[in-house]
Amino acid sequence: MAQPAVSVAKKKQAPSLLEFLYKHGTLLAILVVIAYFGITQDRFFTYENFSDILRSISIVTLVAIGITFSLIVDGFDLSVGSTVSLATIASAAALVLYRQEILVTLLVPLLLGIAVGLLNSLLIVKLKLPDLLATLATMYAINGVQLTYTKGFSIYNDMPLPDGGTAPGKFIPSFLFIGQGEVFGIPFSVLLMLIIVIASHLFLTYTKPGRLFYMTGENLEAARLSGIPVNRYRTYAYVISGFFAALGGIVLASRIGTGQVSAGASFLMDGVAAAYIGFSVFGAGKPNVIGTLFGSILMGVLLNGLTMMNVPYYAQDIIKGVILVGALALSHIQKK
């Protein structure tokens, strides 16, 4: 009778270890990565470096929160990277080419992001196209639009125009403050990110509409039979995703001070990885905003350290892919 008891004990220990790693593995990974780069890189534990990390994390987190909303309703949005680029170009064009003030410069990109979300929801909810294919088509279409508009060139202060003159406008201080300014020593973009993270978490966790988002994603047919307007909530999710991607594009443009073509392409993989890593934070087992924030922190610290180690950007993509596979594997194991 002793052997079965030992066997049972081993079975109990294995799942407990896996459960511990699933709940706290992301936090441990963040601490390990910070400790490693802090020991190996002299400039890692500096204010300037942490400020750079936080600014980059703020953009990734905004994009990843939008992806999280689409995942909550059991969807997926591949168009966020191109939406970031579109918003970046739109902001730069409003300032540099059309000499607009801050209100128009913020409003136009956000409306474009909402329009992208509505287009995605039209294709997915109304025409019932698979979300991956629909958002992939939208991604290519948006890339074509921005490349056609800019003819492949970036938008920047005093840029030459086809007629031989120079651009009449410039990036104004109030806009640059979004990505470069600080409040009490804290980057403004980080404060904006934290406000949105807290507001999104409270909305999804403690409000009825937030719970309906989750119910829609958990079982679409059951939610429909319960009287939940599932198509409406799926539409909301894609609109929110487009909105946050556009907001990330605004922060990006204000940080770099130019409108760079395809500047948001890298944020697709970073945002997706952060959102999926969030599944495992504290053992949530589902898309959640707090987990997404920790996923962004892990990605931001890791990529910053790799850059300080002079790891080529194309090698960094390999590491991103490995992290994403690991996050997906943990999510799949937990579900089983």
pLDDT at 7 over 80: no
The predicted-structure confidence for 47-89, as pLDDT tens digits, reads as follows 899 999 999 999 999 999 999 999 999 999 999 999 999 999 9
The predicted-structure confidence for 278-334, as pLDDT tens digits, reads as follows 887 876 678 999 999 999 999 999 999 999 999 888 888 888 888 878 777 766 666
Q: List, in order, residues 6 or more apart from 218 with CB less than 8 Å away.
A: 74
Average the pLDDT over 186-205 and give the result. 96
Type of residue found at 226: S
| Domain residue limits, the chain | 19-335
Tell me phi and psi for residue 197, to 5 degrees: -60, -50
The token pair that represents 304 in the structure block = 């910053």
Residue 187 belongs to what H/E stretch?
A: strand 186-187
Average the pLDDT over 269-285 and give the result. 84
The token pair that represents 255 in the structure block = 């940080």
Q: Which CATH architecture has domain 19-335?
A: Orthogonal Bundle (1.10)
Q: What is the DSSP letter of 164?
A: S
Judge whether 251 and 264 are in contact, CB under 8 Å: no
Judge whether 102 and 178 are in contact, CB under 8 Å: no
The token pair that represents 157 in the structure block = 């202060």
Average the pLDDT over 200-204 and give the result. 97
Confidence (pLDDT) at 333: 64
Confidence of residue 23 (pLDDT cuts 50, 70, 90): confident
Average the pLDDT over 267-272 and give the result. 92
Q: List, in order, residues 6 or more apart from 211 with CB less than 8 Å away.
A: 204
Confidence (pLDDT) at 170: 95
Confidence (pLDDT) at 1: 46
**Residue 26 CA, distance from chain mean position:** 17
Alpha-carbon span 237 to 213, nearest angstrom: 8
Judge whether 113 and 247 are in contact, CB under 8 Å: yes
CA angle 284, 63, 47 (to 5 degrees): 90
The predicted-structure confidence for 137-185, as pLDDT tens digits, reads as follows 999 999 999 999 999 999 999 999 988 889 999 999 999 999 999 999 8
Confidence (pLDDT) at 192: 97
Q: Taking Cα atoms as reference points, which of 323, 228, 238, 226 lies closest to residue 272?
A: 323
Confidence (pLDDT) at 2: 47
Judge whether 90 and 108 are in contact, CB under 8 Å: yes
Average the pLDDT over 92-104 and give the result. 96
Judge whether 114 and 242 are in contact, CB under 8 Å: yes
The predicted-structure confidence for 208-261, as pLDDT tens digits, reads as follows 999 999 999 999 999 999 999 999 999 999 999 999 999 999 999 999 999 998
The predicted-structure confidence for 29-45, as pLDDT tens digits, reads as follows 889 999 999 999 989 99
Q: Which residue has the higher pLDDT, 15 or 69?
A: 69
Q: Taking Cα atoms as reference points, which of 257, 262, 264 lies closest to residue 169?
A: 257
Confidence (pLDDT) at 330: 67
